[in-house]
Amino acid sequence: MTDTGIFATTEEVQRKAGANANATAKSEAYINDFIAQAESTINVMCRYNFSDKFSTLNTDVKQILKEVASNLAAIYVINYDMSGFTSRTEAENMINILRDASLRGLSILRNQQAVTFINGA
């Protein structure tokens, strides 16, 4: 099986989910599904279909999309089964860190002044 995500790769999500994440949830099939869900969420929240325009986007925009999509997908991986982590608190802290970074990235993507700045770069 190969990566089917547009914004992020399986490897990027696996790194963020961590060594203790469930092996099934870290499989390429599951991560491809999680990335597809994350990409759809990003597109709808930003009211712009980044997926269809990805190849023409500025590198800065691509990197923010990669960060947000891989963060969201890693949250799904961790949430799938927290029993492998050293504690539930460890898993929850990882989710909170990934969530904060996702919200920051989404905020940037939704901010029209940031979009204008990035497009002008």
The structural domains of the chain, with segments of one domain joined by +, span: 10-120
pTM of the model: 0.92
Helices 59-80, 28-46: axis angle to 10 degrees equals 120
Rounded to an integer, the average pLDDT of 25-30 is 97
Residue 72: name the closest of 48, 114, 105 by CA: 105
pLDDT tens per residue across span 44-68: 999 899 999 999 998 989 999 999 9
Residue identified by tokens 């961790």 is 78
pLDDT tens per residue across span 81-115: 999 999 999 999 999 999 999 999 999 999 877 76
